[in-house]
Structure 1
Amino acid sequence: MSSGSDNLEWWRHAVIYQIYIKSFADSDGDGVGDIGGLIAHVADIAAWGADAVWVCPWFESPMRDGGYDITDHRKIDPLFGDLASAERFIEECHRHGLRVLLDFVGNHVSRDHPWFLEALASEPGSDARRRFYFAPGRGEDEDQPPTDWPSIFGGSAWTRESASGEWFLHLFDSSQPDLNWRDEGVRSYVRDTFAFWFDRGVDGFRLDALPGMGKTGELVDAHLGTERFVPESSPEVPFWDQNLVHEVLGEWRSIARSYQPERFLVGEVVVNGATRERSYTRDAELPSLLAITLAKAQFRAESLAAAIRQVGEGLSEGAWSTWTVSSHDERRPVSRYAEGDLERGRRRSRAVHLLALALPGSVCVYQGDELALENVDDIPVDLLQDPIYERTGDRTLVRDGCRVPLPWSEGPAFGFSSGTPWLPQPLGWSALSRTRQVTDPHSTWSILREAVRSRRRLVPGDPDWSLGEPVPGVLELRRGEDFRCWVNCSHAGVPVPTGWRLLIASEPDVGEIPVDGAVWMERTLAPSTP
């Protein structure tokens, strides 16, 4: 069995394009993206320069949480296509030099999953119920949850089922009951599912909400005193980031290593502190973590630097980060950075993407960020589909705004569909459509395309890096002796330093590094020696 490091070296420098399938492209006119739409645009993704794609769940699902509530991990939901179309998509990606990651959700399934329906029809204590977490409630009538654990989506993490009166655990929505990873049947099913997709040419998995799989099994109160569980700031709790998850990951890594080349596993690991993060990247577990800290950082030199350092401290030797500025779960960076001015947000989004592409490791770019799309915050309430809104009533937490269908052209529905898109698109997106940006050398699409396609050639492959602030408010990323990335978070333009020349800039060349801009530079003069 290979150690895996050589087999996975390709991934260490890859640019991964994240696809939220419902909003990518619709081929049949029902207003929802599908696999036919993916196939139609594989060449476009490859032409932009991506090395791989990550496809959000396309599995059979009632879609109460955008496909993250799965009823069968080996079937394609008819909304998107079928297994034959999925296999064609994988083949088409490989034909264009793209590798394929699927999104695997291991913490929970749908409440419509056959296992959970069987559990509901079974007696307390049955084998069917042991695949999940069922427990009697507290109080004289057992009408209070077994513990005080809050859900990530808000409210209690427990829901009572009417037949037996027992409560079941769901760290997310009540439509997503948590699996019990101490059950051998659960583990066997997932091992077989990994093999099912690897044998069909899938090159790896992005592993969703991994720490949730680590539960002690003890039903004791957490005493958090909050309505929502926020794992990145939480103290240790019995239902998140416990040792069981590492046992399971060891099994999964063994399966990935049994294939040649080794299949890639990248984990979504949201925990409190670098020490806990580091425990997921030991040799027997994950080669890479999805680094979401940049998606949380402010456009300030010190905030960006702190986010990068935190990720670096959370890696074991030999592991690397898969950087991301955004995802299907985050507000789009244009809106995060705008401070009331979307054009400012677009400049800053380009700058932070240029920074991410200069960092060591792989990079994930979420669909639409290459077009500088903003978050859509005015979706009518009756069209919202995110279960977080139903549970909290808080529009600021809703994720639908970053999931609005893409603008491909300037025609009806901006080329996304011949029908009515499942979420409304802003009228202003005509100017941001792909067809408009492809012909503009100064568009976000063109600037990031240049950086993506040049990354392996221009950015040193050495994993070493360091940060500095050569000018107040300017973040400097150093890669080797002869490469620099500067991000200007100050309030004034900054001249290009003597002895350096620009390679790529996030804004048209104006003779300096402008406010809200970023550049890649290479040395033209040998460094002076003391």
Structure 2
Amino acid sequence: MFLRRKFLGTTVMSAVALSLASLYGSAYAASTQAAQSGAEWWRNAVIYQVYPRSFADGNGDGMGDMAGITSRLPYLARLGVNAVWLSPFYRSPQTDGGYDVADYRAVDPLFGTLGDFERLLKDAHERSMKVIVDLVPNHTSDEHAWFQTALKSPPGSAERARYIFRDGRGENGELPPNNWQSVFGGQAWSRAPGDKQWYLHLFDSKQPDLNWDNPQVRTEFEDIIRFWLKRGVDGFRVDVAQGLVKASGLPDAEIKRENGILVGPMWDQEGVHEIYRSWRRILNEYPGERMMVAEAVVPTGSRPNYIRPDEMQQAFNFDYLLLEGWDAGKFRKVIDSSMALAATVGAPTTWVTSNHDVVRTASRYGQSKPGHHPRGIGATSEQPDEALGLRRARALALLTQALPGSAYIYQGEELGLPEHTTLEAKYRQDPEFFRNKGKEGIFGRDGCRVPLPWKADAPSLGFGPSDKSWLPQPAAYARYAVDRQEGVSGSTLELYRQILQLRRDYKLGSGQLHWIDAGQDVLAFDNGDLRVLINFGTQDMALPAGGHVLLSSEPLQESGKLPGNTAVWLKRS
């Protein structure tokens, strides 16, 4: 056991490097050299996602804000993250949690002021943390000045040309221009009252899609990017990166899901890459290795196109996030394929297990179909096994953070937070829930967005100075509160702090992965001086001789044995 070792694609990787050097020349060589010198910070960074309305409330109005985030930066610094990604905080009617932007250059009063943001940015930088902000280029809010002007302008006008307006089909234009459906449910076309033309919205009707064939749109977003770069932001997470350009003629085609990925003529068109190359040139004008990460939900083979040397630096690894099952073979396969794909363009792999759009990790892996991605969980759904889900989530954290590349943590993951699975309909705010109301099993994303618990015995669990909370917190959250875990040996919070400290000490993010054959239910590999084992089964397994236990996701009750649903890091002798 543990005798056969295999370096991930040694021969293949060498061939890849040679082909990249010939294809991209100095660009690839420069990126390789920068990675080795540590200049490209994003290659191995741990990035923490803050969903502003749910992280910390500074003024007691029940809504998280800039002041609240700033007050908790010491917590994030102690956790050991390298960067903070802020979900949208721009001026917005908040129909879709801020992803319906009315003004890309203004902070919504719900969250504070531009000055508050600049103080947050300064404080984060003083703590050696980068700050990434969300960019939402596929659509605006219907309350954006451009769209309001478009509604007041005639068909064919320059104002309407910034969006995708079309005449309807049918004798009197009463039918939508094509059969496209919204991601949130229902048709993807709407008409304003009294308007004869239809406008496209791949999401909610209050989120009209922009027309990226229009030069004004391109110029506007280049200016928006410069606006935030000049203020010192370190990068952008690009929302719906695969959706900006639509197929010519907008042909009929249903939106389909293949392995959890949306496909159709409204997604992943070749024209998006010209846009990202222009943005990369802008980022390169600024010091400090500014970066972009793509939320590109595309088929596996398309992901490398977004992270070529002259486009974005990262793309979220949805193959890893959307993986279903609790199975060693499946995880090994997706890790292999992810690393090989990223290597073809000289990019790092970006590992992510949770975000604001999916059911929380600890609940997904507590289902009878572990890892399954329901569209929310409600009181009438199968309720996850909370203890089993947490155990698996802790083990998965040791696996994920030991992999070479960059890793993302969604707020609350470090606490082991489960989904709020019994949230009443009267409190739900996600447009996906309302557009699908009545459809079985579609509860939306509110359950993973519930405000964090900081103090178990405080009003709003310490979320803010009052008892207000924009979404109600379940009673179970009290036992996950920060103050219940702080300094407690074996707590999930302390486990994460140890994980991130050892990840830095052993330089795991910039390491190399060497697989070890260890049996059907066990995943095992070396990364530098660290050996990682995760037991996906239920039976205890023998640990290899000669290794010193640095960290385990659960206590090792019996010497030399690794229990089921448990992971361990060993210092190799």
| 1:388 pairs with 2:436 | no
Matches within 5 A, 1:126-165: 126-165=157-196
**Which residue, out of 301, 306, 326, partners 1:280?**
306
| 1:353 pairs with 2:397 | yes
Unaligned runs of 5+ in 1: 525-530
Distance 1:71 1:279, change over 3 A: same
Give the conservation status (yes or no) of the 8 Å contact 1:157–1:171: yes
Aligned-partner Cα distance in 2 for 1:249–1:158:
27
Distance 1:235 1:508, change over 3 A: closer
Matches within 5 A, 1:340-379: 340-379=384-423
Kindly provide the amino acid, as one letter, of the partner of residue 316 in structure 2: L
Aligned-partner Cα distance in 2 for 1:468–1:208:
37
Q: Which residue of 2 aligns with 1:74?
A: 105
Q: Pick which of 36-45 and 490-499 moved more.
A: 490-499
Q: Which residue of 1 aligns with 2:562?
A: 513
Q: Which residue of 2 aligns with 1:251?
A: 278
Residue-by-residue CA offset, 1:506-525 (whole Å, 9 max, x unaligned): 1123232221111122321x
Q: Which residue of 1 aligns with 2:43?
A: 12
Q: Which residue of 2 aligns with 1:240?
A: 267
Matches within 5 A, 1:143-292: 143-222=174-253, 224=254, 229-230=256-257, 237-274=264-301, 276-292=302-318
Give the conservation status (yes or no) of the 8 Å contact 2:394–2:492: yes
**Which residue, out of 481, 487, 508, partners 1:439?**
487
Aligned-partner Cα distance in 2 for 1:8–1:265:
16
Q: Which residue of 2 aligns with 1:424?
A: 472
**Which residue, out of 450, 461, 479, partners 1:414?**
461
Residue-by-residue CA offset, 1:406-456 (whole Å, 9 max, x unaligned): 000121111002132011111122111101101211000001110112212
Aligned-partner Cα distance in 1 for 2:514–2:143:
49
Give the conservation status (yes or no) of the 8 Å contact 1:152–1:230: no
Aligned-partner Cα distance in 2 for 1:382–1:351:
35
| 1:323 pairs with 2:351 | yes
Residue-by-residue CA offset, 1:281-323 (whole Å, 9 max, x unaligned): 1111111111133322222212322332342243233201221
Aligned-partner Cα distance in 1 for 2:534–2:290:
35
Q: Which residue of 2 aligns with 1:43?
A: 74
Report the alpha carbon displacement of residue 235 of structure 1 after superposing the two structures with TM. Answer: 8.0
Task: Please provide the CA RMSD for this pair.
Answer: 1.9
Give the conservation status (yes or no) of the 8 Å contact 1:337–1:345: yes
Give the conservation status (yes or no) of the 8 Å contact 1:123–1:164: no
Give the conservation status (yes or no) of the 8 Å contact 2:326–2:365: yes
Q: Which residue of 2 aligns with 1:307?
A: 334
Distance 1:77 1:461, change over 3 A: closer
Aligned-partner Cα distance in 1 for 2:265–2:227:
32
Q: Which residue of 1 aligns with 2:124?
A: 93
Give the conservation status (yes or no) of the 8 Å contact 2:45–2:509: no
Give the conservation status (yes or no) of the 8 Å contact 1:49–1:453: yes
Report the alpha carbon displacement of residue 354 of structure 1 after superposing the two structures with TM. Answer: 1.3
Give the conservation status (yes or no) of the 8 Å contact 2:44–2:348: no
Give the conservation status (yes or no) of the 8 Å contact 1:203–1:264: yes
Report the alpha carbon displacement of residue 165 of structure 1 after superposing the two structures with TM. Answer: 1.3
Aligned-partner Cα distance in 1 for 2:447–2:308:
36
Please give the secondary structure, in 1, of the residue aligned with 2:550: strand
Aligned-partner Cα distance in 2 for 1:69–1:441:
42
Residue-by-residue CA offset, 1:308-339 (whole Å, 9 max, x unaligned): 23422432332012211100001001110113
Give the TM-score normalised by the residue count of structure 1.
0.94
Report the alpha carbon displacement of residue 263 of structure 1 after superposing the two structures with TM. Answer: 0.5
Q: Which residue of 2 aligns with 1:496?
A: 543
| 1:400 pairs with 2:446 | yes
Give the conservation status (yes or no) of the 8 Å contact 1:154–1:229: no
Aligned-partner Cα distance in 2 for 1:50–1:171:
34
Give the conservation status (yes or no) of the 8 Å contact 2:82–2:129: yes
Identity in percent: 40
Please give the secondary structure, in 2, of the residue aligned with 1:80: coil
Aligned-partner Cα distance in 2 for 1:467–1:151:
42
Report the alpha carbon displacement of residue 173 of structure 1 after superposing the two structures with TM. Answer: 1.0
Give the TM-score normalised by the residue count of structure 2.
0.87
Q: Which residue of 1 aligns with 2:4?
A: none
Kindly provide the amino acid, as one letter, of the partner of residue 225 in structure 2: F
Residue-by-residue CA offset, 1:367-389 (whole Å, 9 max, x unaligned): 01100111012111111000001
Aligned-partner Cα distance in 2 for 1:312–1:143:
49
Kindly provide the amino acid, as one letter, of the partner of residue 569 in structure 2: W
Give the conservation status (yes or no) of the 8 Å contact 1:61–1:67: yes
Please give the secondary structure, in 2, of the residue aligned with 1:320: coil
Residue-by-residue CA offset, 1:147-194 (whole Å, 9 max, x unaligned): 111221122111123333111111111111111111111111111111
**Which residue, out of 80, 87, 90, partners 1:56?**
87
Unaligned runs of 5+ in 2: 1-25, 368-383
Distance 1:314 1:147, change over 3 A: farther
Give the conservation status (yes or no) of the 8 Å contact 2:46–2:83: yes
Kindly provide the amino acid, as one letter, of the partner of residue 570 in structure 2: M
Residue-by-residue CA offset, 1:217-248 (whole Å, 9 max, x unaligned): 322111x3xxx653765685321110111000
Aligned-partner Cα distance in 2 for 1:453–1:234:
34
Give the conservation status (yes or no) of the 8 Å contact 1:233–1:272: no
- State how many pairs are aligned: 518
| 1:335 pairs with 2:363 | yes
Q: Pick which of 254-263 and 51-60 moved more.
A: 254-263
Please give the secondary structure, in 2, of the residue aligned with 1:280: helix
